Amino acid sequence: MSISEQEDNRIKGAVVLLSKILDVKDKFNNFTDKLESIGTILKAIKTLKYFDLIGSQFSYILDGFEKWSDALEEINNFLGKINDALEVLEVFRDFVEQHEKLYELEYLIRDLQVAEWIFADHDLTYRLNSAVQADN
């Protein structure tokens, strides 16, 4: 396997890996939305505590809900940081894809330069034509 094939395989592998990472990002976003819904419910229960609608016998339960709400907030912040990191990886994936396109363009330009060199050298063209005619 040549070096260019190895590099192509590495680039393609990186693109596949980054696509899988972005799928995970979408799953984290869905999970975050669910956590926000639970957090809203917990905040509503917290509000009820302040209006003293539940009573003193439930204050321990509400304290537990407050702790859950705080924990969910921390998890949400952490998931936000993961989301930011995944966005950076998405930009990197786009860069890798552009690099792959430039790499293909570089090969095309090189092939065109070789063709131009062959046709620009009339003596070489004449010799190639003579060789073809000699075979016939």
pLDDT tens, the chain, 136 aa long? 676 777 778 878 878 877 887 788 888 778 777 777 777 777 777 776 666 655 666 667 767 777 878 888 888 888 888 888 888 888 888 888 887 787 787 887 887 777 777 666 666 667 777 777 877 6
Nearest alpha-carbon partner for 76 in 31, 41, 42 = 31
The per-residue pLDDT for 1 is: 60
The per-residue pLDDT for 50 is: 66
| Residue 17 to residue 89: CA distance in whole angstroms | 10
Cβ contacts of 66 within 8 Å, gap of 6 or more: 42, 46
| Residue 32 to residue 72: CA distance in whole angstroms | 9
Whether residue 48 contacts residue 54, with contact meaning beta carbons closer than 8 Å, is answered with yes
The per-residue pLDDT for 56 is: 64
The per-residue pLDDT for 122 is: 64
The per-residue pLDDT for 118 is: 67
The per-residue pLDDT for 125 is: 66
| Residue 58 to residue 6: CA distance in whole angstroms | 65
> 26 phi and psi, to 5 degrees?
-60, -40
- In angstroms, how far is the first alpha carbon of the chain from the final one? 37
State the maximum Cα–Cα separation within the chain, in Å, rounded to a whole number. 107
